[in-house]
Each structure stands twice: as structure tokens, then as C-alpha cells.
Chains A and B, each alone.
Chain A
Amino acid sequence: DQQVKQNSPSLSVQEGRISILNCDYTNSMFDYFLWYKKYPAEGPTFLISISSIKDKNEDGRFTVFLNKSAKHLSLHIVPSQPGDSAVYFCAATPSAAGNKLTFGGGTRVLVKP
């Protein structure tokens, strides 16, 4: 039973345009959400997070939106750059559960110059 799903395995976008990555979850106990970026043969790098008490968090070119009623979050990257080409994972946790993260399957983003 996948509690965190990223239904788009890949995304291709032109440099300078917006990249929108989506993530859905099923566990109502999740109240903290994170996005990670991963290059091949490297560990994931933390990008941005959001608590369930907010519906938006912004950090530079990255913005995460949370819709609790729909159990949906998204990551917007504006403007997209070639260096953003990587696999992006969303993750979720119920904060009280020892910080165990449940990850989605990832979305591979390709930014074309």
C-alpha cells in the first residue's frame, strides 16, 4: 500500500519555464512534508518542506503548496534551469512517529536548454 504517490514518473520542461511536480498521500496522520532532489549515484538533497499548519512555503525558485483536504502537495520550480534536471522525491511523516519518512517513487525532471 503506497501511502505517498508521485503519479508522474517523468517531466520534460523548457529552460525558463515552470516545472510542477505533484504528490498525493493517503495517510491522514502525515503532517509534515518534504521534497528532495537526487542526482544519479548521489544521496538525496533536501530542498524544501512544509508543515500542515501552512498551505504554502517558498524558498527562492522553489515553492511547495499543500492542500490538506485533497491530500495533495506540489512543488513549483520557477524558472527551471538545466541544473534542475534530476529525480525529485516527496516524503511525508507524522511528526510524532520518530521522524520516519515515507517516500514517493520519484519524478524524473529533464530541463531542456
Chain B
Amino acid sequence: SQTIHQWPATLVQPVGSPLSLECTVEGTSNPNLYWYRQAAGRGLQLLFYSVGIGQISSEVPQNLSASRPQDRQFILSSKKLLLSDSGFYLCAWSGLAQETQYFGPGTRLLVL
């Protein structure tokens, strides 16, 4: 069966520090991968999605970037965090030509 991992689970970072969140998927090949953010009391906003290694599409302009160095690895990064980057970050995957996305456990990021 497929599983999706995210780490760390919680992160507290000072403003201006770098960020790296990692997501890996097991049990499937060539997944579509996604990064979402949920701000406090809000819905889920799609940040990035990837249909293959090195292929990244950005949905909203922001202080973040994403990379996919391996088929089942998706990384969310920032060079300098802002206070507004605080939130709950979720990674998700879907099979090719499949609409249903499956989410990881999430990372809670607090920027102080």
C-alpha cells in the first residue's frame, strides 16, 4: 500500500532563516506531488505541484520554492522566512490520471 511521509512534524524558525520541508511517498511510481498550505482557520491553498522529476508548477507568487530531485521526493524551501509563512504545510500525492489526492500528516511551521 502507499504511504506518504512528511518531516519535521513541527518547526519553529526565526524570521529570515532558511526552510526545508521534505515529503516522500512509498508504494507508488510516477506520482503527481503537491504542496498545500493551510493558514489558521482557512482552507487549503495549493502552492506547488509536480508531474515528474524536475517539473514544478507554482500556483501563487510567494517566498517559497519547491524541488523534486527524485521520483517520490518533494521538497519545500525558502531562503528567508517571513512571519506570513507560518501555517500548516501539507504534502499530497495522486496517481497518474487519478483525481483523488492523498495527504501526508503535515508540518506545523511557526515563524517568530
Contacts and interface: CB of A to CB of B under 8 A. Distances in A.
A83 interface: no
Contacts of B44: 44, 89, 91, 101, 103
Interface residues of B, number: 25
Interface in B25-81: 32, 42-46, 49, 51, 57, 59
Mostly, the B contact residues are strand
Contacts, number: 56
A39 to B, nearest CB: 11
B101 A101 contact: yes
A102 B104 CA distance: 18
Contacts of B45: 103
Contacts of B59: 100
17 contacts: A32-B99, A34-B100, A41-B88, A41-B108, A43-B6, A43-B104, A43-B106, A44-B90, A46-B100, A49-B100, A98-B32, A99-B32, A99-B49, A99-B94, A99-B98, A100-B49, A101-B44
